[in-house]
Amino acid sequence: MKADDPAAWLFARTTGGIRWGLERTEALLAGADDPHRRFASLHVAGTNGKGSVSALCDSVLRAARPERAAGLYTSPHLIRFPERIRINGRAVDDALLAACEAELRPAIESSGATFFEATTALAFLCFARAGVEIAVVEVGLGGRLDSTNVLDPLVCAVTNVAVDHTEYLGDTVEAIAAEKAGIFKPGVPAITGESAPGTLAVLRARAEDAGAPLTVLDDVAEVDDVRLSLEGTRFRLRSARWGEREVHVPLIGAHQARNAALAAELLGLLPDDVRPSWEDVERGFAAVRWAGRMQVERIRGGTWIFDVAHNPAGVQALCASLDAMTLEQPVILLASVLADKDWAHMLTPLLARSSAAILTVPTSAPDDRKWDVDAVAASLATTIPVRVIPDLPSAVMRAETMAPYGTVLVTGSVHTVGDALEALGIDIG
């Protein structure tokens, strides 16, 4: 928590952890005259890629009608809380955030709302006060009982389903799929990028039960000829709706090609009066910015790559992207993973692609989730040099000296990337 963060009160006074149910969120919103009823929305769930899809959709909606106020609600933030609530592409103004927080504060205190419940209500109130007409809202966790599920969206998406957060969502992909499909609503068009037959069967069944028309990405679009560079991803899209198109997004990774295809098809499901043209899609894709997701920065002659991969699936996608590009040598890995994550299976492929590694501990990580960095280093079976520098700003400085004209890869968690970006003074708006 940053000392100058306007939402410091929320961190200190709300309930930690997760409490399922929509009742507290609905009560907070009702007390503020239901701000979530004052704007249209797109609702996006999924294990991986939901943030990228949300950012892509937001960028396109802003490109389509620049005069229309558009909102984007995502989590978590990298450096400061206002990043979660974006209006017209920028983090919410501190003054508006403070005013909305003051309005909600009595109800938050009396209800015992969790941090995410309070944050969701705050985002929706900020959107209403700013005159937002349409917002893209990313699910926090799961879907069915997530605070964001109070929305009545125009369209919704489940990007994909993988095993994650098993303590809350279930320990099988099918159980997790059922939770994410909880955002499906009667008559609301839905789309999924999931392709595994068993998981798809669950999503189809839940959509049918909810009365939601479900589109499967692979049934309506094909992605091929994917080319990666440090400038982004190019690919060919063959779409029943959009035709055959050459697409470029300044997001790196074969998975981002699929995310972009899903975003394009999701936008195509919107009603006629808000559906963008293909020209809008192109402009929006070209302008998208999604900090911490294969984010490339040139720093004093070196190339830095920041990626918030925080589970084995995320690392697998990251490594696939790295393998498809030619990186300046040496490659220095600067990593920290939360203690409750599968850090062993995350570090192994990262170390195999690195010349040397620095393991560190971000200050912003919760104390009870910080890994024992010395024990982790001692357990590694690797032939490359591994240094332990617990202080992250010092680790950043050391990484720069080790690869002044090479590549530094910063990854492992949102906290790792956010703290490194802040230490380097990189503005993410």
Distance of alpha carbon 123 from alpha carbon 66, whole angstroms:
21
Distance of alpha carbon 123 from alpha carbon 138, whole angstroms:
12
Q: How many CA atoms lie within 13 A of 243 on its CB side?
A: 5
Q: Give tens-digit pLDDT for 70-112.
A: 999 999 999 999 999 999 999 999 999 999 999 999 999 998 8
Distance of alpha carbon 298 from alpha carbon 318, whole angstroms:
19
What is the token pair recorded at 147?
A: 């605070």
Distance of alpha carbon 156 from alpha carbon 181, whole angstroms:
10
Residue ranges in the chain whose pLDDT is less than 50: 166, 168
pLDDT score at 175: 83
Strands annotated E in 20-78: 40-45, 70-73
Distance of alpha carbon 327 from alpha carbon 267, whole angstroms:
34
Tell me the torsion sign for CA atoms 260, 262, 268, 271. negative
Distance of alpha carbon 212 from alpha carbon 353, whole angstroms:
44
Closest among 24, 229, 262, 34 to 127, alpha carbons compared? 34
DSSP 211-241: T--EEEHHHHEEEEEEEEETTEEEEEEEETT
Domain boundaries, the chain: 8-287, 295-423
Q: Would you give the DSSP letter of residue 293?
A: S
pTM: 0.91
pLDDT score at 166: 47
Distance of alpha carbon 4 from alpha carbon 2, whole angstroms:
5
pLDDT score at 171: 61
pLDDT score at 266: 99
Distance of alpha carbon 254 from alpha carbon 233, whole angstroms:
7
CB 263 within 8 A of CB 136: no
What is the token pair recorded at 146?
A: 């997530």
Strand order of the sheet with strand 214-216?
90-91, 85-87, 70-73, 134-138, 40-45, 155-158, 190-192, 214-216
* Helix (H) / strand (E) containing 299: strand 295-299
pLDDT score at 14: 58
**CATH 3.40.1190.10 applies to domain 8-287:** yes
CB 223 within 8 A of CB 236: yes
Beta partners for residue 298, in sequence order: 303
pLDDT score at 19: 67
Pick 295-423's CATH classification: 3.90.190.20, 3.40.1080.10, 3.40.50.300, 3.30.300.90: 3.90.190.20
